[in-house]
Structure 1
Amino acid sequence: MKTRSLRRYAGVLAMAAPAAAGAQQAATPVLAPVVVTGSLTQQDQKDALGDISVIDRAAIERAGQSSVAELLQRQPGVEINHTGGPQTATSVFLRGANANQTLLLVDGRRMNTATLGAGDFQGMPLDNIERIEILRGTASSLYGADAIGGVINIITRKGGGDRPLSVHGNAGYGTHDTSRVSVGLDGAANGWRYALDAGYGRSRGYNATAKTVGGAPNWGYNADRDGYEQDNVSGSLGYTWKPGQEIAFDFYHSKLNGQFDAGGGMPPMNEYDDRLRQIINLYTLSSTNQLTDWWRSTLRLSQSNDTQRNLVAPGTYGYPEDGRTRFRTRQEQYTWQNDFQVAADQTVTVGYEFLKQRVDGDLYDASAPWPAPPSIAGYGVDSRITNSFFGEYRARFERHHLQFNVRSDHNTLYGGKVTGGAEYGFDITPNLRAGIGASTGFRAPTFNDLYWRNDGGTVGNPDLKPESSRNIELSLNYADDTTAAGIVAYRNRVKDMIVWADRNDGSFLWSPMNIGRAELRGVTLTGSQRFGQTTLRASADFQDPHDRDSGNVLPQRARQIYRASAEQRFGPASAGIEYLWSGSRYNDAANKQELGGYGLVNLTASYDVSKNLTAQLRWNNVFNKDYTLARGYNTPGSTVFMNLAWRM
């Protein structure tokens, strides 16, 4: 970011301090007091180093949003992109990093697919989530591959406390014939804790494709509605058979049936009712054992499956003749972690992790010499194993906070990577902390990058190496009982980025190559202020994510984003207003297709009908602003959603 730009906006911190946004490491009282994503062990959020936000259950319910992506869009440093609604491919950018450079976790377990490389945020519901933790900045020394931009950890409801049984539910209806119902129960008794949640949602949706693009007809236009059905169920069961000894089983299931517009071709191909079906499952068995006063051992065994089936117009190039494809990622992840309390304020953690990834899919293979027809085949190599060793030292010496991490990942396909991280915080006063951090990271090449079949235009490259990054950041955060304010400045340099380009070998094929370089730099300002029953929040992101060779801004990322909100409580009622302004972006890497900036106003309201029943209303895009996230695709317009929430 240019020096004059920093001077121009230096005064924003003063304005943001009394009015600002989601928490950094120093939290306002409404946030969860404990975080688990910023280090290998849980800690009080006030002690956590790094740029961390927490969206707790109360904040999720107040927001009234219907998907994880919509909720994340309200957070500093986060941008989203989709092609026609929550059921379509949804990209989440942290600090300007690519979507496949953001690691998605569910209960701390890896969920990024091994085929596309990104996390599947589309259709992910909110009713079974206890909280969401967002760690901005490179975190491969904590979690391994793909955490160049940061980590989003979705933590499901677990049950606990001292109540034997609590039941909760929601029922809502809104624009586009959108409805959602959910029900759940949780509690604890006699050493057992449990939680079970289930939900179902559907929507007729809206027309995803725009009729014109840049004033010209959109050849991919399809006048149909693109709706979806989604259901989910998750649960947790734990038993503490003696103090410090717990065994637990957790599961998560989500199924999405949706319509989308592939956006290509001419009539009649573009008029086909493209559909997708996605099923995600996660199962985790864990044992936590306090072996001595100073040694705790945790063993986690998990398996996840992400299966996606697509149906496009029969005869579409690059697809099987009937237009049906299937891709699946299966991940087995085993972790053994040992935490040693070496002193009152010093913790050492060491551990080992085993990760096996297996994929299969329907790939279009046109490699056979003419006149042999194309065929459908799987990946030439369909599995890989990563063995990882990791360690952490975390300490506090009066006003000094330290955290060091190191991790070694060795993969059977692309070799080994060693990453590290170091963070230091100094308490200038009990409420004001300055911090500095540096870390390295990497993104692993996907199976699509490595082993994509020759489809006549593209082919994978098995000689790829991982992308690498170096991140450094400075922070200053203030927090007391009613006020929070923060500033974070960062620079993250990424090299060996995997870019698809012409092979220039006479084959006319494109392949992925390690030829890209990017720099992600920026400043984030946040703050919040409470006056009795009034809460004000605001944030500002000034970022410059650009290609280091061409100087072009990375596609679909704005250089400036502002957020502000106000919430007022009136006895049993509350009302709120939100504002989001995003600057212009480019749809393409060449920076030829500009997408205009936009500003959105949202309203929220709730009323406690009784101590067990609350009525909620959310009105998004009050002024029906016409804006574009992806060229050629519509956004939903002005929408209203009403919900009844109950708990007993």
Structure 2
Amino acid sequence: MWRLFLACLRRFKWGAMGASCETAEQHRKTRLTFILFLLITLALAGQVAGQSVTNLKGIIVDEEDGTPLAGAVIDIQGTGYTALADEYGLYSFENLPVGDYTLKIAAPGYESAYQAGVKIIDGISRQINARLYRKVYYLGKITVQGQRRRLTTDNVEILQRDEIIRSRARDIPELLETVPGVYIQETGSGSGRSQIKIRGSAPEHVLVLVDGHRINSSGSGIADLSSIPIEMVERLEIHKGGASAEFGPDALGGVLNIITQKTQLGEKLSVDGERGWGSWKNELYHFDISDLLISGKFSGNFAYSLRQSIGDFDFSYQVEPYPVAYSGTRINNRNESINYFSSGIYRFNERLRLTSSGQYYQSESGLPGGARTQNAEAFSEDSRKMVNSSLLYELSPDRDLKLDVGVSRFEQHFADVKSALKYETRYINDVYTLRHTQHLSGWQGNRMLAGGEYRRDVLEHEDIYRPSQSMGTTVRDNLAIFFNDKQHFDLGRLMLIDEAVFDFSIRFDHVNTDKESLSWQDQAFENSLDHWSQKAGLALSKGEKFSYLVRGSYGRSLRLPSINALFWKGDARSRGNPALKPEKSKHGEAGFELRGDIGAIGVSGGVTYFRSDVTDLVVWMPNSGIWQPVNNSRALITGHEDFVELEIFDRVLSILYQNTITTAINKDTVHTVYDKYLVFYPHYVTTLTARFNYAPFNLSYSIRKVDKAYTTAANTRYYNAYRVDDIAASVQFNIGKYLRAGMDFKLNNIFDESYQLMTHYPMPGREWYLGTRLTYGIADSK
């Protein structure tokens, strides 16, 4: 075109220079040709200028299975520009002005996502993709009317941040008491430690993770939940039943996954302060900052809390069937803890982001011991330092790479140097985790995950008072590879089923345990173990307004012996057993759920049956006067979880009934314990909760009934069944545009019921708490 223009220009000039070159007629034709060319060129330029320039586009999909989210709304904040994703999840904006923008991406039934720092440059097209998390709860806990339910093959409870805030729970154990199948075992108020049991499992059979990094002690295998501040939790995932195929060894009875890291940049800054008082001189000081956005690429969260308590309380209880009464004052139950917790997300660009979390926790607690022989001098000091980071790179909407790195140090110091017992011991437990995962979709509705993991546990044990009883240093290396395939089927044309999910997981673990030798009497130890874990499940559903769900799964899991059980040398009456084998389980479950709306009332209900056959169960047994752990026990755990929930007037009033029946039977061949109930496994736990939520007021009343629990393997002694009633009320109101004030009041164990969760560890009676809080910010969830 430009060559034609130059040729015409030359002809035009030549024609103007003289008649010798061209006739007058030729000159006129040349000028007309040039004018016509200019008109055509201007018309084409105008058409090109009027064409749209696409400078922002992307795809919106489901985080779980990669399904395109048709109808998702992409809103450019503060501009009025919006776009809808099409049936393939695709969206686009054209002719946007140059500038920096923040995107809000929302879809019905999903958590909204925000993307800040989107730069629009003239002539350059950008692609911003997003994965949205489903904003739902399923099988027995919390459901949201009119929202699509996440279809899963096993029984997993998910508590999102907004529900955690609405619960007004003071800590994670208090929140978990409302979850069916979960049983919290505590050692008392103040200095009490909180441990989780799921469906009749022991606390050491439940793997507890914080942002994918385990916090179970390598020495005992048990995790204390009281060290994680609930204010920093974004999401709780409770996986019921064995889950080694997904999470690795030690998930024999289930998994509690505590997520503190956010997946999107924060949108609204919030600053909170809380001051609380309670029974037994309980005091709380708390401060946190949420969604602090810097440079449009980084947002961070920070929390500080100080808790302290004298903790001493009066108690009275008895052991049946031949009543032996115990009463007195629980002494040395003090506790003081300080907790710093932070998390943040840095988005390098639309495809690459870094999330991280860190904690420094320190506490000092009294160790009162059993109520019959209390200790006024013993104490413990705990310290935890933890850093977790995740780097996620989205190669495409269907594929991403993720690298997780975690480092933690857990130190414990137990001492009593004044009484006749005189002991002092110290543990230092270092855990290093490196995990690589890759998500990809092979075809429509398919979501695969493959990866590898390396974890090193280093436990150092020193008996300061009796150095010869020290275990020294033990190192456990765990190398694993794993694969998960989830296939979602859309079966809209079938009469009875419109959605199906098939899920399969497999994992291989190679574990090497190496203990150093401290003397010629203390032999070195090295052992290797290879193990495959598998799990498969199927879920079927039908309907949205009125829906039902049927699902089932089956798998195999294991738990490694704790280092204490292997090498303990605490005293002359007990020692570890290096020949211990891992505990193994075969587990399965099947569930059915119904939900629907009847006018302004939402109704849901369901039942889940479960069975777990545990072999090589580790128990401590006497051998020639010395107690040792052995693998001579087997247990069969069966039961079912039921729930019915009514939600009235858009959840202004909700009533939730939950019941868990667990039959945990000892199958050891010893005739005195065969077919007896396992100790401290109540046969039923029933909870009835009513909530009234009408802004600015929130009121709840709950009743928890727990069956009797045997205290001896032969079932000759037991603690009676008990009932605990709790009431809670809260109110919050605005003070201007950005400031809100609130108050919480709780009265637990209203009728002062006496009960125990461990042998001769009485729980406190009636307990009250009053908290006041002040919030600066415009975040809706605070």
C-alpha deviation, 1:135, in angstroms:
1.0
Match runs of 1:246-261 below 5 Å: 246-261=353-368
Q: TM-score, normalised by structure 2?
A: 0.72
Provide the rounded CA distance (Å) in 2 between the counterparts of 1:332 and 1:386: 10
Structure number with larger C-alpha Rg: 2
| 8 A contact 1:134–1:150 mirrored in 2 | yes
C-alpha deviation, 1:397, in angstroms:
0.8
Choose the corresponding residue for 1:435, options 527, 551, 556. Answer: 551
Asked whether 1:530 is paired with 2:647, we answer: yes
| 8 A contact 1:257–1:277 mirrored in 2 | yes
C-alpha deviation, 1:305, in angstroms:
1.5
Cα distance change of structure 1 residues 636 and 358 upon mapping to structure 2, 3 Å threshold:
same
CA-to-aligned-CA distance 1:545-578 (integer Å, 9 cap, x gap): 1112311111111101110111113442122111
C-alpha deviation, 1:586, in angstroms:
1.0
Q: Which has the higher contact order (CA 8 A, sep 6+)?
A: 1
Counterpart residue number, 1:68: 172
Counterpart residue number, 1:603: 727
Q: Secondary structure at the match of 2:757?
A: coil
| 8 A contact 1:64–1:617 mirrored in 2 | no
Match runs of 1:218-617 below 5 Å: 224-263=331-370, 270-314=374-418, 317=421, 321=422, 323-363=423-463, 375-379=467-471, 382-398=474-490, 399-413=499-513, 414-430=528-544, 431-453=547-569, 455-480=571-596, 482-503=602-623, 507-532=624-649, 533-549=652-668, 550-610=674-734, 612-617=740-745
Partner amino acid for 2:530? G
Provide the rounded CA distance (Å) in 2 between the counterparts of 1:196 and 1:45: 32
Cα distance change of structure 1 residues 23 and 294 upon mapping to structure 2, 3 Å threshold:
closer
Q: Flag structure 2 segments of 5+ consecutive residues without an equivalent.
A: 1-135, 491-498, 514-527, 669-673, 778-782
Provide the rounded CA distance (Å) in 1 between the counterparts of 2:430 and 2:314: 31
Choose the corresponding residue for 2:761, options 633, 638, 643. Answer: 633
Counterpart residue number, 2:116: none
Q: Secondary structure at the match of 1:59?
A: helix
Q: After alignment, is 450-459 or 531-540 more displaced?
A: 450-459
| 8 A contact 2:289–2:302 mirrored in 1 | yes
| 8 A contact 1:602–1:621 mirrored in 2 | yes
| 8 A contact 1:141–1:441 mirrored in 2 | yes
Q: Secondary structure at the match of 1:291?
A: strand
| 8 A contact 2:559–2:584 mirrored in 1 | yes
Q: Secondary structure at the match of 1:412?
A: strand
Q: Secondary structure at the match of 1:362?
A: strand
Choose the corresponding residue for 2:182, options 53, 78, 82. Answer: 78
Cα distance change of structure 1 residues 457 and 222 upon mapping to structure 2, 3 Å threshold:
farther
| 8 A contact 1:620–1:638 mirrored in 2 | yes
Count of matched residue positions in the alignment of Structure 1 and Structure 2 = 597
| 8 A contact 1:478–1:486 mirrored in 2 | yes
Cα distance change of structure 1 residues 143 and 570 upon mapping to structure 2, 3 Å threshold:
closer
Q: TM-score, normalised by structure 1?
A: 0.87
Provide the rounded CA distance (Å) in 1 between the counterparts of 2:237 and 2:200: 18
Provide the rounded CA distance (Å) in 1 between the counterparts of 2:214 and 2:138: 24
Provide the rounded CA distance (Å) in 1 between the counterparts of 2:768 and 2:557: 41
Asked whether 1:100 is paired with 2:204, we answer: yes
C-alpha deviation, 1:541, in angstroms:
0.8
Provide the rounded CA distance (Å) in 1 between the counterparts of 2:418 and 2:676: 38
Provide the rounded CA distance (Å) in 1 between the counterparts of 2:315 and 2:464: 26
Partner amino acid for 1:511? Q
Provide the rounded CA distance (Å) in 1 between the counterparts of 2:637 and 2:439: 34
Counterpart residue number, 2:230: 126
Root mean square deviation, CA, Å: 2.5
| 8 A contact 1:235–1:250 mirrored in 2 | yes
Cα distance change of structure 1 residues 474 and 46 upon mapping to structure 2, 3 Å threshold:
same
Percent identity, please. 21
Provide the rounded CA distance (Å) in 2 between the counterparts of 1:257 and 1:153: 26
Counterpart residue number, 2:119: none
Provide the rounded CA distance (Å) in 2 between the counterparts of 1:75 and 1:593: 28
C-alpha deviation, 1:199, in angstroms:
1.0
Counterpart residue number, 2:215: 111
Provide the rounded CA distance (Å) in 2 between the counterparts of 1:161 and 1:237: 9
Cα distance change of structure 1 residues 375 and 315 upon mapping to structure 2, 3 Å threshold:
farther
CA-to-aligned-CA distance 1:495-552 (integer Å, 9 cap, x gap): 011112233xxx5322211111011110000132111121111101111011123111
C-alpha deviation, 1:454, in angstroms:
6.5
Q: After alignment, is 474-483 or 228-237 more displaced?
A: 474-483
Counterpart residue number, 2:300: 194
| 8 A contact 2:338–2:361 mirrored in 1 | yes
Asked whether 1:142 is paired with 2:246, we answer: yes
C-alpha deviation, 1:193, in angstroms:
2.1
Cα distance change of structure 1 residues 183 and 364 upon mapping to structure 2, 3 Å threshold:
closer
CA-to-aligned-CA distance 1:115-164 (integer Å, 9 cap, x gap): 00111224543222223221101100011111111111112264845525
